[in-house]
Amino acid sequence: MKITCIQMDMELNAADRNFAAAARLIREAMSGKPDTIVLPETWNVGFSPKDILPEQCDESGRRVRQEIGSLAKQYGVNIVAGSVANIKNGKLYNTAYVFDRAGECVAEFDKCHLFSPMGEDNYFEKGQKPVSFTLDGHGCTLIICYDVRFPELVRSVTAHRKTDFLFMVSQWPSVRVPHLKALVTARAIENQMFAVCCNSCGTAGETKYGGNSMIVDPWGETLALAGQTEELLSADCNTDVLSEIRSSINVFADRRAEIYKL
């Protein structure tokens, strides 16, 4: 599977501008003939929780479904459409959407762990469950930024079903990029899957976001790594390696769930 991450520099509270930019970058990415395109976290409004304007947010994902879902159908490409600041039943959520090649929404996920150091938990509602879905026959799961620091969330999916790809969409600050690289690589190794991180860049409020989007294979090898500015990052993920690592180091067969007390 060829994957392209759109490491996007969005403008705070400028949904029209950001939707237009995302569409332009998706069209640009199609020149490389990817199977799956990935957008970052809250790309519709940027990430500065205390500054987000409700009128700039999506409503139940209507706009992202219409505009990004239509692009998935038009180009026949899977799109992990990052996440958007999204109002549902009068409450604000950080919601990710995934569209298949037919433009159908195959997954919706609300961020479960809200980043309290920036007060995200004061403005957004918490998601309540992990998500799993299938793209081109491959089992996948999806997390949003801070979720990566909680390995239980990912393992709650991978322990019970075959999962070939983890998609992480984020607004990760430049000051903690070393943590980003270590955590994404760890999730790939411990769950024996590809880990795809699509991060943002630029600034929002007082925070500078770090770029360094990355695609990591199940052995922990980095297949592609972005810089710190807006760019398209691509890698061909040879899924034949999955059976190789799972047969040689079968961690899921050797798990002892009966002794794990959480």
Residues with catalytic function: 41, 111, 145
How many C-beta neighbours within 10 Å does residue 95 have? 27
CA neighbor of 83 nearest in space, from 118, 50, 122, 114: 114
Over its C-alpha atoms, the chain yields an Rg (Å, rounded) of 17
- Tell me the angle at which helices 151-158 and 177-191 cross, rounded to the nearest 10 degrees: 20
- Dihedral, 9, 14, 20, 24 alpha carbons, nearest 10: -10
d(CA 153, CA 200): 22
Residues 206, 121, 134, 44: is their CA dihedral positive or negative? negative
Q: Please report, as a single letter, which amino acid is at residue 217.
A: D
CA neighbor of 87 nearest in space, from 28, 128, 132, 42: 42
d(CA 88, CA 152): 26
Q: Label residue 190 exposed, middle or buried (CB < 10 Å: 0-12, 13-18, 19+).
A: middle
Q: What is the DSSP letter of 175?
A: G
CA neighbor of 140 nearest in space, from 101, 168, 171, 182: 168
